[in-house]
Structure 1
Amino acid sequence: MRRTVTIELATPATEMAQEEIPKQVAFLSKEISDIRFVREGAALEFEAPEERAADLARAAEALARTMQRSLRSLARKLVYRSPACDRVEFRGGALPAGITQMGQGQVALEGIPLRLYRYFDRSLEALGAPFSPSPILVPTLIPAATLSKCDYFRSFPHIVTFACHLPEDMPRIEDFRARHQDRETLDDRALGDMAHPEVCLSPAVCYHVYAANRDRVLPAGGARYALAGRCFRYESSKMVDLRRLWEFTMREIVFLGTRENVLGLREQGNELVARYLDEHRLAGEIRTASDPFFIAPDAAAKTYFQISSETKYEISLMLPEGERVAAGSLNYHTDFFGRAFSCTIEGAGPMHSVCIAFGLERWVYAFLAQHGNDPSGWPDVVRRSPEMAGL
């Protein structure tokens, strides 16, 4: 039997704390679901099994207290707020036909959702055209050693998807085959049969760019790349619709160069994204944010640093009932990847980097929530696009 767990907070959670705390609570247990704040942040609630409710409540309360303490002196910086925020009207009801759940955090798109997906893929690629980036095609698999250099296993081990296979061992392969001859699912011995995972499924496409520039000396002007690919992040009970998928599509623009160079390009990116929001009459903001660092002793410090130093700007689009979806981000990594992959800028030391990333499925979701399913009411820039021909 499940029950609602309610945690009364010593002080109401700020808007920022209400956004950050659920990211962590979801990973206390797979049995937790429907995490939400109530009474304007005065209490945190979630659903959990009756027999584990007390233990999970204590763990969630301690986590919330730690996060509130680390964020109490922080104020979110607003970089841009679109005019549509002041007159937002959510015309979307039920999502249109064409979105099929294929498994946990996995969807198939067709019809209007697929047309919108293709539209955002093309138009967001065009958004980066003024930078004249070099196109690059990257794999879906990424070596575990590369993710380790990116500090992923220390910062985000909870969302990694590992790719594994049976080793070159005929008796083991035959045993596996025989055990599964009449089964419809993997048995509880399957994981032990697998070889040590050497690769993972990419959680972001930009990591391939840094790895591709390993041991290189780049010219003073740096380098710019445009790429897209499928990405994978396991986010537990939060994977319920297009807002948060296990497998999704990311389109990115990546800048490598000196600190001044890449930060200047990020500012240009802010302006281009702001114009894009206006053209599409989308209610949204560009604002400081943080990544969902794993629950660890230094997680709160990382969150504090990321928000206070403005290394991450998120593109936050409005949804009904006060909710939001982070449909993209503009991230400055300092010289971390330059040092990790021994990439330098001629005459200027380790390479600094910025990536501008867009989650295509989230743009589809937010657009439908704000503009509805009827193309006749959509902004002209979308309605008259080649992807909508024949509607």
Structure 2
Amino acid sequence: MQSSDIISSLFWFKNESEEEDKDHLILEQFVHNVEDFSSQYGSEISVSYTAFNLRGPPSNFPDYGDYPQAFVMVKVIATVLHRTYGTWWEEAPSAQKDYMPQNASSITSQDFVEVSFEKAVYPLEVSIFETYNPGALVRIWALGPTAWMLLWEGEPEYVGDTPRIFSPPIRQLNVPTRILRLEFNHKLLPYYTELDAVLLRGRQPANLVKHMRNNFSYSSLFYKKTQPVVEKGQLMNRIIASNLHENIVPQIVAPRNQKQIDTGPPLGDFHQLPDETILCVMKYLDIQSLCRCAQVNRHFNRLASDCILYRSIDLRPYWHCVQSQVLATLSMRCKFLQKLDLSWCGSHRMIQPNYVVNFLKDSGAELTHLRMNCCKFVDNSVLRAIVDTSTSLQ
């Protein structure tokens, strides 16, 4: 054997060892527990068609069909179960209308399920085992140390009568997670969808890896893994094509001794418009845009904080970032509040019950409509505040 061959063999052995250590950090795990969900077809005293069936490895895949061992979502309206497929139930006279349609994103969510895994990992891949009418998944969220982070978002689709393992490309995180939240939109489906399992593939933190090695891969039982081909410079080309560098506004660092807000020069011809006209325009803005307008100057701050713009509040689209302090801030602007939707908000104690009680006492006297679907903060004190304060509910 020549010396060059010996050297090459040594380098090859080193690469194999490094690759083996790298693979040892990869962990694949199925759902350990179901933390929360918006709806389920099965009852609380049964396991058929319930969210409980998402725990553990798949029970039916790769078989396609209607199985009671799967998870099925429905909509409950006036104590009546309505399957959430197609658009008929949103077009019906009994459909619930959004309080602030301008808050809705281009991809709306109708249902969600929140699952947890035994160990926290840096997520590399999320695989959804769909065994009946697949294609309703639109978002995947991951819970970090302080906030929810969006891993993937996409349009709903209908892929036909075939089972599948859906593994969309996800965003890479620099923090580990063990809790995922899946959101669904069923508008394109001819019938309800069924989920069999959820697999999280991720990299374990190096300081938590044990000496015991287990190279068994769950995913190898169901499909052959393929790595996506990423061309060199592809990410940079996409950034340049999106003109992101032209849309970034440099931060203006104010002097430390400047305590008052600089009103700045007039913004075009807006200073010539009467307040009533500007308010008429602002009523079409979503809450996030109103908050941004309030940061422009004093004039916009006064108008964007006008109570007439906050007669209807819908915080459900912002469930992932609404915390207790948001209610404290809104209470100063909601003196004429009539419709309030806090559905899906308050997961993992992001909203404390006492903040909800104070908000209702300050701004809930004129409420005629109130929604609190899937809210963990609802307890006896919140219910008592609703009864005592919001006496005009319809």
TM-score range, shorter chain: under 0.3
Comparing both chains, which one has the higher relative contact order based on Cα–Cα distances under 8 Å and sequence gaps of 6 or more? 1
With normalisation by structure 1, the TM-score equals 0.21
With normalisation by structure 2, the TM-score equals 0.21
Pair member with larger Rg: 2
Bigger fraction of residues in strand:
1
